[in-house]
Amino acid sequence: MKQSPSDQRPGLKLRTWAALLFLALFLNGCTTCQHSTLAGSRHFDFDRDTMAFANELIWEYYFDDQGKWVSRAREPKPDYSLHCFVVARSVRQFFQNARFDPALPKATEAEYRTLVRRVVSSSPRKPLPPDKQIIIPGYADLREFSAAHERALKDECGSAWESYFQRGHWRMVFPFSTGHQEKTAEHLLRDVQANQVPVVHIVRFPSLSINHALVVFDALPTEESIQFTIYDPNDVKAPGSLAYDRKTRRFSLPQNKYFTGGRVDAYEVYTSWDY
């Protein structure tokens, strides 16, 4: 499959829609509607709690001479792409299930790989209690650790197929009502105010002009909107933004290097119900 969950070109074939619909109907019967309200112990810090490397784009997007948004394959081909959901999920797992201790001696590369596998094998849906968190010795935070052990994290956090077969993907094939989007915005606001880090799937279905995972970690609510601050796995330099308009009850994303900007549909993943 050429399309990436974070670097998506439009035009998936009919058999793909049929497979998604079958998967949706199968998984829909396995979900429950509960929402966590547990408060985290600290606030997410972009400079500490994100990866030092990016999920790279496999396409370059630009406006041609006629003003049309087009794409071409990147050259040279990136060595780490199609991992937006893997990166977003792993960042959430490190934030809620791991603890960094720079005072401890550094471990070997093999030991760090084992610790990374333990973290990404932990539940992204249920945080570990403090006494059960996985300790990462010798580093102050995930940003520092991932800069020093980039290859280990890329190898051990998960494969690209996990971005395609995340169990919450069933939801994107169904329409997103304004009521659903309003509840999503309320849940996201509640989560970040409780120091949680929800992972959001943003999509335009069926065009799939965007199909991507973001981590939401802050919000500024006003009477007219909620301006959410995000970590985009495609951009390690600075936080991004995701806006919710209270009047239209819709989300929007500004133009960036892979999206022309405009309305998106949003829903949470890696939750107890994954929708």
Write out 212-236 in H/E/C secondary structure: EEEEEEEEEECCCEEEEEEECCCCC
Render pLDDT for 165-179 as a digit per residue (tens, 0 to 9).
Answer: 665 555 666 788 999
The per-residue pLDDT for range 25-61, each reduced to its tens digit, is 333 333 333 444 455 679 999 999 999 999 998 878 8
Q: Say what percent of the chain tops pLDDT 90.
A: 65
pTM: 0.83
Residue 146 to residues 90, 141, 150, 167, 273: CA-CA distances in angstroms?
11, 9, 5, 26, 30
Q: What pLDDT, on a 0 to 100 scale, did the predictor assign at position 12?
A: 38
Q: What is the pLDDT of residue 222?
A: 98
The domain spans of the chain are: 167-269
Partner residues linked to 70 by β-bridges: 62
Distance CA 101, CA 136 (A): 6
Whether the bond between 105 and the residue before it is cis, its omega within 30 degrees of 0, is: no
- Categorize the per-residue pLDDT at 18 as very low, low, confident or very high, splitting at 50, 70 and 90: very low
Asked if pLDDT for residue 96 goes beyond 70, the answer is yes
